[in-house]
Amino acid sequence: MSRLDALLVLQDGTTFEGEAAGYWPDAPVPATGEVVFNTTLTGYQEVLTDPSYAGQIITFTYPHIGNYGITGRDSESARTFCRGLIVRDLAPRPSSWRSERTIHDFLIEQRLPAITGIDTRRLTRHIRDAGSMPGAFGPVSGPSALSETLLKEAAGAERGTDGRDLVAEVTTPEPYSVGDGPRRIVAYDFGIKRTILRHLGTLGVVEVVPAATPAEEVLARQPDGVFLSNGPGDPAAVGYAVEQIGAILGRVPVFGICLGHQLMATALGGRTYKLPFGHHGGNHPVRRLATGAVEITSQNHNYAIAEGSLPGAEVTHVNLNDGVIEGIGRPDLRAFSVQYHPEAGPGPHDASYLFSEFERIMGA
């Protein structure tokens, strides 16, 4: 299948040549968003369907994407929320007994634009040195070609994720329930993943509620525990959730993951800040301070908790690459959270014990 020439332009003016792939309407408009890179080798479907990537364009550092196809069970949400896909090589034919369709068909179905043939090693090095930044890409040949000038203007106008409430774009509009375990759990949906729900569903009946649900409505459901999910964007822009979490802490056990971890920390008086290029991948080493054990973890976050901003909380986990706080606990409030993804969708299962820990404190 022939593809049109395409161009990726970053907000600082750096350009990369490639070919248009995925979904493009007859009259294309630039695909824009904050460009980040993910270092995982497998799990591209889970990454693309993770609501935490809302507002972002995903670059995969692994060169061959799509080689084992797409399988419905592996999606982390009903649709993609990311803005686009950047790859070196998009596999035209999958090879897996589980494959139900090609990644090309998936991108068309999801109306997700992509650009292939990009020197992703050069792009990753640039983001690593200059930091994540907005960008724009689109076809620059063919009957409806976009100009490089238009792409530069689109990249310059893109806001990125700073200060934006992206949770409102991904949260469920209505409550729903999953699972059949013995306990009752209320899960705040800031962009929750299906793999997390599968884990929680073994512990109890999980009532998933919208991100802006008042604390009193949650407590009126008489839960044994409250879960704070992952999600996209800047935690400072989700003040309404912080207020409700603050009203829940100390009244029932609380477990937070990723954005839920940042929001819980903020409710406890902590501060968050944006990392230069974030943690996105499936092999980040984290030390569990209580035992000294090192866990290989799956991560996806651009923001982190500022060290020293939570004097009342115990730091439980730290990232061995850069020292970022990866876990906190308040045993007196029966609350704990981690920055990484123990559900491992995709990723290693070293940290799955955290769901058992949540079960333990719900029964305490």
Is the CB of residue 5 less than 8 Å from the CB of residue 141?
yes
82 is catalytic: no
Catalytic entry in 76, 158, 343, 359: 343
Q: Which two tokens stand for residue 343?
A: 């559900």
Exposure of 14 in the CB half-sphere (CA atoms within 13 A):
18
CA–CA distances in Å: residue 266 to residues 91, 225, 245, 256, 269: 42, 19, 9, 12, 5
Catalytic entry in 104, 261, 301, 341: 341
Peptide bond into 63 cis (omega under 30): no
Catalytic entry in 82, 104, 258, 326: 258
SS3 letters across the chain: CCCCEEEEEECCCCEEEEEEEECCCCCCCCEEEEEEEECCCCCHHHHHCCHHHCCEEEEECCCEECCCCECHHHCCCCCCCCCEEECCEECCCCCCCCCCECHHHHHHHCCCEEEECCCHHHHHHHHHHHCCEEEEEEECCCCCCCCHHHHHHHHHHCCCCCCCCCHHHHCCCCCEEECCCCEEEEEEECCCCHHHHHHHHCCEEEEEEECCCCHHHHHHCCCCEEEECCCCCCHHHCHHHHHHHHHHECCECEEEECHHHHHHHHHCCCCEEEEEEEEEEEEEEEEECCCCCEEEEEEEEEEEECCCCCCCCEEEEEECCCCCEEEEEEHHHCEEEECCCCCCCCCCCCCCHHHHHHHHHHCC
Angle between helices 239-248 and 259-267 in degrees, nearest 10: 70
Neighbours of 198 (CB within 10 A): 14
349 is catalytic: no
Which residues are catalytic, by number?
258, 341, 343
